A = this chain, B = another copy of it.
Amino acid sequence: MAYELYYWPGIQGRGEFIRLALEEAGADYIDTARKPESEGDGATAITAFLEREDIACPPFAPPFLRDGSIVVGQTANILLYLGPRLGLAPSDEVKRLWVHQIQLTIADVVGEAHDTHHPISGELYYEDQKAEAMRRAGHFRQDRIPKYFAWFERILARNPIDSGLLTGATVTYADLSLFQLVDGLLYAFPRRMRQVLPEVPRIAALHHTIAQRPRIRAYLASNRRTPFNEQGIFRHYPELDG
Q: Give the CA-CA distance A73 to B56 in the complex, in Å.
A: 30
Q: How many copies does the complex hold?
A: 2
- In the complex, the answer to whether A56 meets B158 with C-beta atoms within 8 Å is yes
The interface residues of chain A, by DSSP majority, are classed as: helix
Contacts of A73 in B (CB 8 A): 101
- In the complex, the answer to whether A151 meets B98 with C-beta atoms within 8 Å is no
Contacts of A227 in B (CB 8 A): none
- The bracket for how many chain A residues form the interface is 35 or more
> Can you list 13 A-B contacts (CB < 8 A)?
A56-B158, A56-B160, A60-B151, A70-B94, A72-B94, A74-B101, A77-B100, A80-B97, A115-B119, A120-B139, A121-B139, A123-B143, A132-B132
Q: Across chains A and B, which 10 residue pairs bring their CB atoms closest together, nearest first?
A: A121-B139, A74-B104, A74-B101, A60-B105, A77-B101, A132-B132, A57-B98, A60-B151, A120-B135, A120-B136
